[in-house]
Structure 1
Amino acid sequence: MTKLSAYELEREANIARNKALLQQLELKQAVESLPSTSKVKVEKKAKPIQPRTREKRKREPEVEAPRRQSARLRRGQIDPNESPRKRVKREREEEEQRQKEEETRLAAEEARRQSQRPRHNKLDMITLIESGPEDTESLNKSMEAVSKSSVDRVGNFDEWVFEDSKEDERALKDLRQRMGKLVVRARAKVTDARIYCAAYHPEVTKDLIFFGDRCGQLGIWDARAPADEEEDGDGELKANEDHEGGKYWRIQLHWPATPKSSISCVKLDPIDAHNIFTGSYDTTVRSLSFTTSQSRELFSTENLVNCIDVSPNGNELWISDSQGWVTHLDPREGKIKPRSYALSDNKIGSVSINPTRPHYIVTASNSRSIKVWDVRNLQAMSARTLGDDSSASDEVGTSGTIDFHTETVQEYLQTAKGKRGFRAEFPHGKSATAAYWDPRGRQILSTSYDDTLRLWDLDQATLDSDDPFKKFQPFSKIKHSTQTGKWVSLLKAQWTKNTNVYPFFTVGNMNHSLDIFSCKGELVQRLSDSRRITAVQAVTASHPNIVERVATGNGSGRCVLWAPEDLD
């Protein structure tokens, strides 16, 4: 029993005297209101995950600029016996010294400015990874076990479409049973800052997830890999209680390491499993290859890059930015020049390519609407199309793209061919955060700040027509809080890319849970763990080839793997 201090003994005596006095006065209610001397048992919560202890990089010493002084102080006391010739010589030497000091100061300022600008050159993995060669070697070993051919599959337009409602019910029941087995299997602080985006690698032998954070860092998490063993002072292995769940690597892919370089989107190359694409607020799109251990720039603009999407053949990228532009480019080096279209007056938060009909894209913007475009007709736009005598070179922008400004696009959309380029629009109550095609290319899922998730189902006749859609109304509206505020990443409902299961999508919940919905808009499962999950799981991603796998990330860089308990 814990020994009480003198103060605590005196307090207990006072409480006992007061109780006796109140009982003599027959004030039972007042006696019961007195504090109890018994201690309340506090439930022990799970210890928060701590990041691995790593050696801090040694920063280069800053060059201190020389302090400015008045000419009187620099001259000091004037020697009355100094000859005019010596005085002129001394003043000339002092002026030369001042010029040298000023040049040194300007050079230091320019070096500091250069260090804060985006990097446009090719970068080696060793210069990017957090702990240098040691981590690079372990990451390369982990990636060697990944097959380059383990690529995403494109769905069939007519898959999982049943005429009998009972077939839908059976498929939904099976999905509920499988998702009901998911629990928290691993946790780790994969990045240093808030997670903005995630991508799940299609490799089936491991759970490999890529996370982009608020400061341009790419976290790579091998969630079920054996944790690194650490030794104590006596050379014996000690238990690692501060973090759990696999291995992770951190790569400072975009620069500078501030919110100006947030990684807004991560996409896997559909034809090369050892290559990934990242878009960033530093206005660049980069390609990182684990085969060559190099990162190269694919595209640079003047605006913040919000979203990128890759066509199923890997030869087309569509990029949306903060000023309402959408850019089309070929990621292969030396190919056609990128073309940019001003499709909105506000930020376009997402762009998505239809996987079975890649000539369709859907955009979601702060103009409170989502729009469906037929890019075959957009790409036919040119100066000659509008009857302009100016050459195409007059439209080349500062980023090397061929730019079609708002006036040009609007004028073109009024022409017979241009009307076929814009197929449909649906207004939302507030900003449309995201809109994505499903793997079959028949459904669209949108997330909006009006606290609603919406689902569209388009038939083959509508998509095969050359005219604007006659009807474009969502068949399902799901009320879901999306009021993330300033400190939580935007919630964006994400389709699973697994074509072997009844289509579903995942979305974070402001109540610290993970919600899974079917393609019909029905809630499949709501996963939570109040003991281990104490933050909003804003970013979600599911395994493209294994049904019972979902990964989530929160605002502190901590990530969670949801998988069956009997996985091993």
Structure 2
Amino acid sequence: MDEVSEFERQRQANIERNRKLLASLNLNSLSNEISESIKQEDEASKRKKSSSTTQKKTKRQKVEVQPIRRSRRLAGVSIDDSDSKAREFELEEDRRRREREELEKLKTLRVDGDLSLLDLVKDQTVKSEDGEDSSKLLEKFQKFLGNSKSFSIGDYFETIVKKDNSSKDVKKLREELGSKELYTHFKPNDIKLTKDRMTYICFHPDIDRKLIIGGDSTGNLGIWNSENTDDVDILSFKLHGKNIAKLEFNMNDTTKVYSASYDGSIRSIDLRSMKSSQLFINDFDVGITDINYNNDNEMYYTTMQGQFSRIDLRAGDHSRRQVLRLSNKKIGGFTINPMNKNQIATASLDRTLKVWDLRTATTCDWDEWDDNLETLHTVGVYDSRLSVSIVDWNRSGDLVCNGYDDTVNIFNLGEDISTKPKNFAIEGDLTPSHRIKHNCQTGRWVSILKARWQQYTPDKEKFVIANMNKYFDVYDRDGHQLAHLSNPLVTNVPAVCNFHPTQNWLVGGGASGKVYMFS
């Protein structure tokens, strides 16, 4: 065996000395304790993290969804409001919460057996946009026919004609009106009568030329000579500061046309000299909503504040005129009985159509909230579910009106109403003789639909009203539909429309100011 070198013996001796030194310091035991402690802390940290995650998950699962509560600020309740208002707010929120809870319970109930859908909603009412109630439950279901939008009975004209056993006169008139064609010398896009949304349009009474006049929502007026086929012959000018509500002719002097506006003024236009003069300015610039001729020298008007008055066209000063308040709200339109100028009918935002006898009017400042103020003698009243937009009277004693309740109503009062004494009254409330379903929900960009009789009809009494599906609908005094006119070139709802006073010509205008004429 080889002898160990001196170097190796020295190295082994150093290793042994170091081992004894480490053993005397107990470092291995300390190192093991530290390692074990670190290991235990890591495991505890993991257990804590795992426990925390589990608790969070468990807590999230146990959270119940509470009903959203609006802040008092968003609900319009000021910090300075009284405790009673705050209490009312809390009670209202509690009531809504209970309703939601009841609804959730009802969702889990089972329905057994055969049933009628009408019975399920017999205790409900149909709510309109302004909160008005309707008891006609079927109307709620009719909205599901085809689509959810409102509809007009005129949209089913072809079906009605096939199944309608009308008189020969009605059939003949349907054929005549159905043969009317859209003016095609120029496309409607080129016939822009007004700059903005059209609010009124009519024919000049002349039958030798088809002269059309229209006004818009910003006070512009346009005159179109449709007989000129070489060029679109339109004169357009700014006549008023606001909506032109009505254009009126005196049939005994058709050289002048009168215009009334929401800016509170009435102006006259001489078509020969093409000059316009200011006829009347209302007190405090209260907007004028309608005008009608009573005779050659007198004109009636109504206002945005429910007032009615008459002015003498020969007088320069109208300060002494008599002003009668017929409504606390806007009178959208009125009409004079053609056979008795003392009788008028008004259509108002207060949801009524009222017939008045002016022979009983002396002074009147009527207010429905004050019984001490004197009122006029009311011949008859029709209460509508919603506001009434227009009423018109024909020469046979019939009234037609329509409004936001999506109906057109015809009242066959008869010609004998014109001979009644001044103190007579129609027994009970006015009841429509005929009621026609018609969509009148025009919205913001389409002018209000208004039914108007032909002024001097050459055949049967008939009126026209625009259809929201871009048609002209024509009906007679018995509610029979005579026409449903349109054309692919009619690209806007002809919201404002009219007959020629004596000819079976139709004209309408829409939101873009374009004109559609059938003749």
TM-score of the two chains, using structure 1 as the length reference: 0.58
1:197·1:213 contact (CA, 8 Å) conserved in 2? yes
Contact 1:381 1:412 in 2 (8 A): no
Q: Does 2:395 match 1:424?
A: no
Counterpart residue type for residue 449 of structure 2: L
1:451 pairs with one of 406, 409, 425:
406
Asked if structure 1 preserves the Cα contact closer than 8 Å seen for 2:396 and 2:415, the reply is no
d(CA) in 1 for partners of 2:335, 2:371: 22
Match of 2:489 among 502, 527, 532: 532
Q: Deviations over 1:9-34 (max 9, x none)?
A: xxxxxxxxxxxxxxxxxxxxxxxxxx
CA contact (8 A) 2:342 2:357 kept: yes
Q: Secondary structure at the match of 2:182?
A: strand
The reply to whether residue 224 of structure 1 matches residue 227 of structure 2 is yes
Please state if 1:465 is matched with 2:420.
yes
Larger Rg: 2
Letter in 2 for 1:216: G
Of the three residues 215, 225, 240, the one matched with 1:254 is 240
Query: How many angstroms apart in 1 are the aligned matches of 2:252 and 2:211?
Result: 17
* 1:406 alignment counterpart: 367
State which of 325, 332, 338 in structure 2 corresponds to 1:355.
338
Alignment equivalent of 2:288, drawn from 305, 309, 328:
305
Question: Is 2:269 the counterpart of 1:288?
Answer: yes
Q: 1:406 to 1:328 in 2, by over 3 A?
A: farther
Contact 2:454 2:502 in 1 (8 A): no
Q: Which amino acid aligns with 1:170?
A: K
Q: Distance in 2 between matches of 1:532 and 1:173?
A: 27
The Cα of 1:333 is off from its aligned counterpart by 2.7
Q: Which amino acid aligns with 1:458?
A: L
Q: 1:167 to 1:332 in 2, by over 3 A?
A: farther
- Equivalents in 1 of 2:298, 2:166: separation in Å? 35
Q: Given the alignment of the two structures, is residue 500 of structure 1 paired with residue 483 of structure 2, yes or no?
A: no
Give CA deviations for 1:35-67 in whole Å, capped at 9, x if unaligned. xxxxxxxxxxxxxxxxxxxxxxxxxxxxxxxxx
How many Å separate the matches in 1 of 2:312 and 2:291? 12
Residues 398 and 413 of structure 2 are in contact (CA less than 8 Å); yes or no, is this contact kept in structure 1? yes
Distance between the aligned counterparts of 1:409 and 1:249, measured in 2? Answer: 49
Aligned residues: 345
**What is the deviation of 1:290?**
2.3
2:304 alignment counterpart: 322
Question: Structure 1 residue 179 and structure 2 residue 167: aligned?
Answer: no
CA distance in 2, matches of 1:267, 1:217: 16
Q: C-alpha displacement at 1:441, in angstroms?
A: 4.9
2-side partners of 1:468 and 1:405: how far apart?
19
Matched residue type, 2:237: I
Spell out the pairing of 1:88-167 with structure 2 (5 A cutoff).
none
> 1:163-207, CA deviations, whole angstroms, 9 ceiling, x for partnerless residues?
xxx998122122111101112114311111110011211111111
> Which residues of 2 match residues 485-524 of structure 1 at below 5 A?
485-524=443-482
CA RMSD of aligned residues (A): 2.2
SS at match of 2:169: helix
Amino acid aligned to 2:213: F
Alpha-carbon distance in 2 for matches of 1:557, 1:252: 14
Please tell me the residue identity of whatever aligns with 1:332: R
Mapped to 2, the partners of 1:167 and 1:512 lie a distance apart of: 27
1:442 aligns with 397
Shift of 1:212: 0.7
Segments of structure 2 that go 5 or more residues without pairing to the other structure are 1-163
Residue type matched to 2:367 in 1? T
1:224 CA drift (Å): 2.7
Kept in 1, the 8 Å contact 2:397–2:417? The answer is no
Counterpart of 1:206 (choices 204, 209, 220) is 209
The equivalent of 1:482 in structure 2 is 440
In structure 2, what residue type is equivalent to 1:251?
F
Question: Whose relative contact order is higher, 1 or 2, with alpha carbons under 8 Å and at least 6 apart?
Answer: 1
Task: Answer whether contact 1:357 1:441 (CA < 8 A) is retained.
Answer: no
Alignment deviations for residues 388-424 of structure 1 (CA, whole Å, 9 cap, x no partner)? xxxxxxxxxxxxxxxx45389965656xxx5xx2111
Ranges of 4+ aligned residues in structure 1 off by more than 6 Å? none
Secondary structure of residue in 2 paired with 1:275 = strand
Match for residue 343 of structure 1? Answer: 326
Question: Structure 1 pair 226/364, CA: closer, same or farther in 2 (3 Å)?
Answer: same
Residues of 2 paired with 1:413 and 1:172: CA distance?
46
Partners of 2:366 and 2:374 within 8 A in 1: no
Residue from 264, 269, 273 that aligns with 2:254: 273
SS at match of 2:278: strand
Question: Quick check: 1:514–1:537 contact (8 Å CA) kept in 2?
Answer: yes
How much does 1:512 deviate?
A: 0.9
Alignment partners' CA distance in 2, 1:489 and 1:476: 25
Find the partner of 2:510 among 535, 539, 554.
554
Match of 1:182, as an amino acid?
K
The code of the aligned residue for 1:381 comes to: T
TM-score by length of 2: 0.63
2:339/2:418 contact within 8 Å kept = no
Change (3 A) 1:179 1:554: same
Return the offset for 1:331.
1.6
- The separation in 1 between residues aligned to 2:379 and 2:366, in whole angstroms, is 20
Q: Which amino acid aligns with 2:238?
A: Q
Judged with a 3 Å threshold, the aligned counterparts in structure 2 of structure 1 residues 227 and 364 are, in CA distance, closer, same or farther, namely: same
Cα distance in 2, alignment partners of residues 364 and 497 from structure 1: 19
SS of alignment partner, residue 406 of structure 1: coil
- Cα distance between partner residues in 2 of 1:546 and 1:407: 43
